[in-house]
Amino acid sequence: MRIAFILLFTYFSFNAAAQNIAQKINAAVNTFLNNEQLKHAIVSLYVTDENGTKVYALNEEYGLAPASTQKIFTSIAALSLLGRDFTYKTEIGYTGNISNGNLNGDLIIKGYGDPTFGSWRYSNTKPASVLNFIVGSIKKAGINNINGNVILDDGAFSYQPLPGGYIWDDTGNYYGSGSWAINWRENQYDLILKPGKNIGDTSTIIKTSPAINVKAYSNFITTAQPNSGDNTILYLPPYSDNAFAEGTIPAGVKDFTVSGALPYAAGQLTTELDSSFQKNKMPIKGSIISGDSFVKQYKTIPHAENIIATYSSPTLDSIVYWFLQKSINLYGECLLKTIAYQEHNYGSTDFGVADLKKFWQQNGIDSSSVNISDGSGLSPQNRVTTHALVSALLYAKKQSWFQSFYNALPLYNNMKLKSGTISACRAFAGYHTASDGKKYVMAIIVNNYDAGKGNVTPKIFKVLDALK
């Protein structure tokens, strides 16, 4: 009888606590919804405890634009399907034979989608380190002269580098870069500008870093008030050599840097590889040729008969760390295509989206609640539910690699949350341990709020503060 009484008391105490937290959230939500900024907005919020028991729900089955919180689906699926210790490989091989230091054939560098190839984020992936690895591997194999071509084989992925959902104003900027089987420098370049003397003056292009191959760079960027920030949009479509830019940069600075997307990563690597070969006195009788040249001529890229070295990326858990911490869209698109490559031996966005939705459906999430067209969340027509986001986060908690995923989530409002921001969309999803030790899993998405009425983020945090 005593045991039954204790159990009953515990049950009612827990129930009362759950009701209390739900009431606190509801009060915070009502205050939030009554704000003029939310007059035409849609708000979705779903909160559970660590076991998945519902604590609070509002419009949790509405499909809304998730922005970068969508990266949760991609990163968790990648860790599950590829493994925490997965590494990308880039193979260096050749056709023909090596005789007396001469390669009588073609040198072939074959990529499989490594998004960190030439990245500045790791000591061993920086451009100089990668180029030294390539040249050093060739010399170690006994090759001093190449009596053929150097071929950059990026045929493992589709030559359509962009998801169909990306918008034109994003694709020339660094965060909207394409993804290929050979990526380079995170497919990014910097445009360094000098503002004009007076407000309204056209800026001057000082240089690009690295130097990129464009026939013309039309500059329509003007000078705005001091401290007005970066309000530029860069336009350089994939495979193009004509660029233009518009918008404003602030007055009162010596120079100002904005970042754009490389039009073709292998094309940029071709230029830098050529310089490295010349520097190391390694003559090439033929040319350095990128994979798209073969595609344009309807020719098959030669297959390396012998592999002399394999360059390996950092492990996937490290890639996911940067993917979530810095919200790198390129990493998400490469992970999506890599999932597709593992399944179909060909990496495309369409295959990757289908495989991602299939994975989540097999793990209990209705595919219509993850209605997506990319791996990063940049496409504005993506629609997911907060219920699906929380379900994915609950799935991750049960996996052996969970701590790596948890560590990768940024800290916002003293909570471990992935954020998301695109036009008129702000979202957060993740985990929080309250002051009383209770653990919660949550997702909140706000669409179509009035951005002209200030920053909505502090108001969202006041809702989430109810969990503290």
Which pLDDT score is estimated for 18?
58
User: Which residue matches tokens 């002399």?
Assistant: 308
- Residues 336 and 440 occupy one common structural domain: yes
pLDDT tens digits for 404-428?
A: 999 999 999 999 999 999 999 999 9
- Residues 136 and 185 occupy one common structural domain: no
**Whether the Cβ atoms of residue 67 and residue 425 lie closer than 8 Å to each other:** yes
CB atoms under 10 Å from CB of 164, counted, come to 12
* Residue 16 belongs to a domain: no
CATH number of the domain where residue 101 is located = 3.50.80.20
Q: At what angle do helices 349-362 and 329-344 cross, to 10 degrees?
A: 80
Which pLDDT score is estimated for 297?
85
- Residues 293 and 379 occupy one common structural domain: no
- Residues 271 and 396 occupy one common structural domain: no
Distance set, CA 292 to CA 21, 160, 295, 397 (Å): 57, 11, 5, 42
Which pLDDT score is estimated for 9?
47
Which pLDDT score is estimated for 165?
95
User: And the tokens for 194?
Assistant: 């000098």
- Residues 153 and 177 occupy one common structural domain: no
* Residue 420 belongs to a domain: yes
* Residue 11 belongs to a domain: no
Q: Which residues contact 80 (CB under 8 A, 6 or more apart)?
A: 359, 399
Which pLDDT score is estimated for 414?
98
- Residues 443 and 393 occupy one common structural domain: yes
User: Which residue matches tokens 């495309």?
Assistant: 348
Which pLDDT score is estimated for 1?
53
Which pLDDT score is estimated for 298?
81
Cα–Cα distance between 80 and 285 in angstroms, integer? 45
Quick one: DSSP state of residue 451?
G
> 58: which strand partners?
45
User: And the tokens for 103?
Assistant: 């390669």
* Residue 9 belongs to a domain: no
What is the domain count for the chain? 3
Biggest CA-to-CA distance, the chain: 92
Which pLDDT score is estimated for 332?
98
Which pLDDT score is estimated for 19?
67
pLDDT tens digits for 301-312?
A: 999 999 999 999
* Residue 2 belongs to a domain: no
Instruction: Spell out, as residue ranges, where the chain has pLDDT lower than 50.
Output: 5, 7, 9-14
The 3 state secondary structure assigned to 118-177 is: CCCCCCCCCHHHHHHHHHHHHHHCCCCEECCCEEEECCCECCCCCCCCCCHHHHCEHHHC
CA angle 181, 87, 390 (to 5 degrees): 95
Cα–Cα distance between 80 and 241 in angstroms, integer? 39
- Residues 97 and 222 occupy one common structural domain: no
* Residue 5 belongs to a domain: no
- Residues 330 and 462 occupy one common structural domain: yes
- Residues 230 and 362 occupy one common structural domain: no
User: And the tokens for 354?
Assistant: 């289908």
- Residues 377 and 423 occupy one common structural domain: yes
Domain that holds residue 242: 168-261
Q: pTM to 2 decimals? A: 0.94
Q: Residue 149 burial (CB < 10 Å; 0-12/13-18/19+)?
A: middle
CATH number of the domain where residue 40 is located = 3.40.710.10
- Residues 342 and 445 occupy one common structural domain: yes
User: 463: part of which helix (H) or strand (E)?
Assistant: helix 457-464
Which pLDDT score is estimated for 17?
58
Domain end, chosen from 196, 230, 261, is at 261
User: And the tokens for 334?
Assistant: 């490469």
> 56: which strand partners?
47
Quick one: DSSP state of residue 226?
T
* Residue 10 belongs to a domain: no
User: And the tokens for 254?
Assistant: 């010596």
Distance set, CA 324 to CA 222, 237, 318, 379 (Å): 33, 26, 10, 17
* Residue 14 belongs to a domain: no
- Residues 322 and 432 occupy one common structural domain: yes
> 422: which strand partners?
425
Backbone angles phi, psi at 299, to 5 degrees: -110, 155
